[in-house]
Amino acid sequence: MILEAVMLQVRIGMEEEFEEAFREASKIISSMRGYLSHELHRCMEAKGKYLLLVRWETLEDHTVGFRESREYQAWKKQLHHFYNPFPTVEHFENVTL
């Protein structure tokens, strides 16, 4: 399992519209192969700032399976215009302790 972590900065004043669009776009990502779960968190200190966490079975499920799909184009159309600046996506793996 890998964890995709994305800090999102939504244009000020568009937060409600973004959250509504994200609810709809969640149907897209949750239908993808290798998808396990996702969470969207609103920052309490900074207006318009969100943390998106997505769990995938493998890195390729996200980077190839999702990012190179038709469904990603719909995701992009629904959400990408809200971001300024465009977010950086990072992937993490669990450390066994």
pLDDT tens sequence across 30-54: 999 999 999 999 999 999 999 999 9
Report pTM: 0.95
CATH code, 21: 3.30.70.100
Task: Indicate whether 56 belongs to any domain.
Answer: yes
Q: pLDDT by residue (tens digit) across 45-82? A: 999 999 999 999 999 999 999 999 999 999 999 999 99
Question: What is the Cα–Cα distance from 90 to 69, expressed in whole angstroms?
Answer: 19
Residue 48 included in any domain: yes
Whether residue 27 is contained in a domain is answered as yes
Apex 5 CA angle, 88 and 72, nearest 5: 70
Structural domain includes residue 97? no
- Tell whether 51 is covered by a domain: yes
Model confidence pLDDT, tens digit, residues 5-32: 999 999 999 999 999 999 999 999 999 9
In this structure, what are the phi and psi dihedrals at residue 90, rounded to the nearest 5 degrees? -130, 150
* Domain count for the chain: 1
CB-based contacts of 95, cutoff 8 Å, min separation 6: none
Quote the domain boundaries for residue 37. Answer: 2-92
